[in-house]
Amino acid sequence: MPHAMEKPADFHHAASLLRFETRAFINGQYVDAISGETFETSNPATGKHLAHVSSGQAPDVDCAVQAARQVFDKASWSGMPPRERKKILLRFAELIEKHSAELALIETLDCGKPIRDSMGVDLPDAIETLRWHAEATDKIYDQISPAPRDVVSMIVREPIGVVGAVIPWNFPLFMAAWKFAPALAGGNSIILKPAEQTSLSLIRLASLASEAGIPDGVFNVVSGMGPTAGRAIGMHAGVDCVSFTGSGEVGRYFLKYAADSNMKRIVLECGGKSPVIVLNDVVDFRHAIEGITTGILFCQGENCSAGSRLLVHESVKDQLLSELKTAFQAWPVGDPLASSTRVGALIEKEHLAKVMSYIKSGKQDGATLAYGGQRLYAESGGYFVEPTIFDNVKNTMKIARDEIFGPVLSVLTFKDTQEAIQIANDTAYGLAASLYTNDLNAAHRVARSLRVGTVSVNCYSEGDFAVPFGGYKESGFGGKDKGLAAHDQYTQSKSIWIQLR
Ligand code: NAP
Ligand code: MG
């Protein structure tokens, strides 16, 4: 086991010394893909090759499912006393913390996000997520239903079995932790499929699960392509549940896979086009400006709950927009390994092209480009784009309807609160919304009127680990991540009716 890396003074130097593990982790071992095939992962900030990663396919997924099933049936993890499982999961969290500088560096290299975020957000939040769910392991009670005196009617929670977790590239470790923490706490075995762009951190993490004492076969990582490895997880008859985070398009595939195979449980966390509403009673814009800026620029806007539609009362728009432009200047775009960088590189060339094509469509559709709009540092080989604001956007325009997944903000105006609610809800998505107001009544009323899974008021937030997260409408399906609600994804309830004689 390599020694834990200290927080390096120079991340470039530390990066040059890194050696990546690139094989799948199945049944407690790193293994090549059975086919021997690999695919390439690169650094979005340079466009350069990072590593060749094992390209897992259906036979590799099958090996992982078999290992996961065997250990589940043996009950060495699923049947372990909850308090023991908790201790092991807390040890796992401690090991991740010990190795967090290395994991954060891998994340930034593979994903293009600022090191400031992977060190300051992704890693600490993943660790705290794991701790929170670990702590819940021995605190979740079963139920006894009202029944006649000579009957004991129990409703017991049992682990669902073998869980597939299919992960996106924007928060590889953090999104994975949302899933593996409650799944493991409940006693399940898990097979994680990272996105092909960003497999390295999860592959590295897997050996820490073993080191913590999680039995072989309980925690597996199969890297590979969506249509092969991802599909194989979705179609496998030995998988009991798939928890997916990613696009709606692929989310729908999983519903089909379940229908075409064993009716496995499917939970989907999909995209969003989240509105940010600023009412005209806001006198001090400081919090709004901070929240709006973070909401669209954090993680380069590659964030499912990015606040990408700013709905502002027409009477305060000009002032807000002028302050917003100043705030955007304080988010430097650049080298993700520089500690001052707040906006890193987009994930890949194709995605950069997609974001640029949305910027073009905004101009063509008659919106006013108020800030940014250019590709940056093309000579670096990286996929950087300027934070961008479009003014005079109509909610019918493509830039207001599609999830751009980049640092592109659309500004729309409204005349009264009713109109703001109507525009906010006029979307196929329903993941999140933010609202800025000083009026307590408006805060409650508007929050209740928004058809979304999470509303943050006077801030940009998804709430902490204790708060369930998931979307309404096409943003989610079947369950929630985070909070105790997450445990429901990975457990099933059994009713036991005992007639006393
Ligand atoms: P994606 O293209 O849907 O991919 C997500 C995962 O599905 C990846 O592991 C991918 O593998 C896999 N996949 C792709 N095609 C598949 C197929 N035919 N069968 C089975 N699996 C397949 O999403 P993404 O581009 O990685 O992530 C961006 C999206 O995620 C955005 O829409 C964003 O809003 C959403 N997101 C949602 C949340 C939330 O909590 N609601 C959080 C973060 C992100 P490959 O790597 O091979 O494509
Ligand atoms: Mg990569």
At 313-363, the pLDDT tens digits run 999 999 999 999 999 999 999 999 999 999 999 999 999 999 999 999 999
Q: Is the pLDDT of residue 1 over 60?
A: no
Domain boundaries, the chain: 17-270, 275-465
C-alpha span between 361 and 40 (Å, rounded) = 31
Nearest bound ligand to the CA of residue 198: 2
Whole-number Å distance between alpha carbons of 228 and 251: 15
Catalytic residue among 63, 304, 348, 474: 304
CA distance 39 to 361: 33
- Pick from 155, 152, 153, 158: which is nearest to 143 by CA? 155
- Residues 66-101 have pLDDT tens digits of 999 999 999 999 999 999 999 999 999 999 999 999
Helix (H) or strand (E) holding 42: strand 38-43
Which tens digit of pLDDT belongs to each residue from 36-46? 999 999 999 99
Q: Supply the residue whose CA is at minimum distance from atom 26 of ligand 1.
A: 168
CB of 315 closer than 8 Å to CB of 415: no
* CATH number of the 275-465 domain: 3.40.309.10
**Per-residue pLDDT, 292:** 98
Average pLDDT over residues 227-239: 99
Q: Is 167 in the pocket of ligand 1 (CB under 6 A)?
A: yes
Mean pLDDT of 426-445: 98
**CB 170 near ligand 1, within 6 Å:** yes
431 lines ligand 1 (CB under 6 A): yes
The pLDDT value given to residue 50: 98
pLDDT at 6 over 90: no
- 468/450 Cα distance (integer angstroms): 17
- Residue 391 neighbours by CB under 8 Å, 6+ apart: 321, 367, 368, 369, 370, 411
For residue 198, the CA-to-ligand 1 centroid distance in Å is 11
Query: Catalytic: 304?
Result: yes
Instruction: Name the 3-class secondary structure at 166.
Output: strand
CA distance 315 to 414: 9
392 contacts 310 by C-beta, under 8 angstroms: no
Atom of ligand 1 nearest to the CA of 168: 26
230 lines ligand 1 (CB under 6 A): yes
Which residues sit with Cβ closer than 5 angstroms to ligand 2, an ion? 41, 110, 197
Whether 143 shows a pLDDT value over 90: the answer reads yes
Q: Which superfamily is assigned to 17-270 in CATH?
A: Aldehyde Dehydrogenase; Chain A, domain 1 (3.40.605.10)
Beta bridge partners of 274: 307
Two structure tokens written together for 91: 């040890």
| Annotation says 269 is catalytic | yes
